[in-house]
Amino acid sequence: MFQDNKMSNIVLTKANIVPGTNNSKMTFIFNNGKVDLSKYEVALVSLQMFYSWESISSAYGNNSFSYTWSDGVVYDVTIADGTYSVSDINSYLQNVMIQNKHYLTDTANGTNIYFLEFLTNPTLYKVQFNSYPIPTTLPVGFLLPAGATWTLPVAARTPLLMLSGNFRYIVGLNAGTYPTAYQTSIFSKLSDITPQVAPISSILIRSDLINSAFYNPSDVFYSFSSKGVPYGGIIEEKPPQYSYMKITKSSTDRFSVYFTDENFSSVKFLDDHITLILNIREIENTQG
């Protein structure tokens, strides 16, 4: 069946990707019809793909939150699907506040002053949320943005951040309102739990070739991560030693390989340039 009847490499590329699976499922079809794989085992030889899965997505339900301005009006923030750092999230929020004209301009240097922000606190391994009180009078040299429909409050008050969906896991805050009511002084809040700025920490490679009694799910045979690879960079996975698993599928003309996150949820790869090489060999103790 295979080269020298003992082992062979099988290569899967973008041509093997199943349409409509977000590039996360590949199927290999044997040229000569059904083959008996019951006396074989499989191992990963290598994997090359681009780091192209998103950290924030409407599919994850972690792309939105709200804030209440000093006039009591609630404004929704919906982040476009993509991969973001805390700094990127803060910039996105600032862009939304520019659109809503929720800032002041310091005419001395032309910079905008914002009253909500997300920062990284690397020392504590947390995200820090800050809300600054909007003043009752304009400081010297400061202006409201042209076209602003809001006015300065009678008493200084901080805008409120409202978290209810899965975005709270990105910044590590419990569901709730921060602060719980308007304050006249700066409000700061550190993450309650470890922030999951990159919710997917590892990718599982699974296949219907495998049905192991030692794994749950039983079809997992390898995992890898994007550690050290920048977003958009190439992930190259080459095990130093092949780790074989017995194939439990017997007579078949095809098999599938698919990818999920560490929580066994489906993933979406934006880039379909994937090369996966598997080695299938005859199990030694079945020979002869």
* Encoded tokens for 119: 């920062």
The tens-digit pLDDT sequence of the chain (288 residues) is 555 556 699 999 999 999 999 999 999 999 988 999 989 999 999 999 999 999 999 988 999 999 999 999 999 999 999 999 999 999 999 999 999 999 999 999 999 999 999 999 999 999 999 999 999 999 999 999 999 999 999 999 999 999 999 999 999 999 999 999 999 999 999 999 999 998 899 999 999 999 887 777 899 999 999 989 999 999 999 999 999 999 998 889 999 999 999 999 989 999 999 999 999 999 976 444
171 close to 129: Cβ distance less than 8 angstroms? yes
User: If you search the block for the tokens 């992930």, which residue do you land on?
Assistant: 235
Give the integer Cα–Cα distance in Å for 222 and 237.
10
Q: For residue 142, give the H/E element and its range.
A: strand 142-143
pTM of this structure: 0.82
Rg of the chain over all Cα atoms, to the nearest angstrom: 26
3-53+200-286: CATH topology is Jelly Rolls (2.60.120)
Residue spans in the chain of domains classed CATH 2.60.120: 3-53+200-286
Assign 3-state DSSP to the chain and report helix, strand, coil percentages, each to 5.
Answer: 10, 35, 55
Give the integer Cα–Cα distance in Å for 76 and 132.
19
Q: For residue 92, give the H/E element and its range.
A: helix 86-99
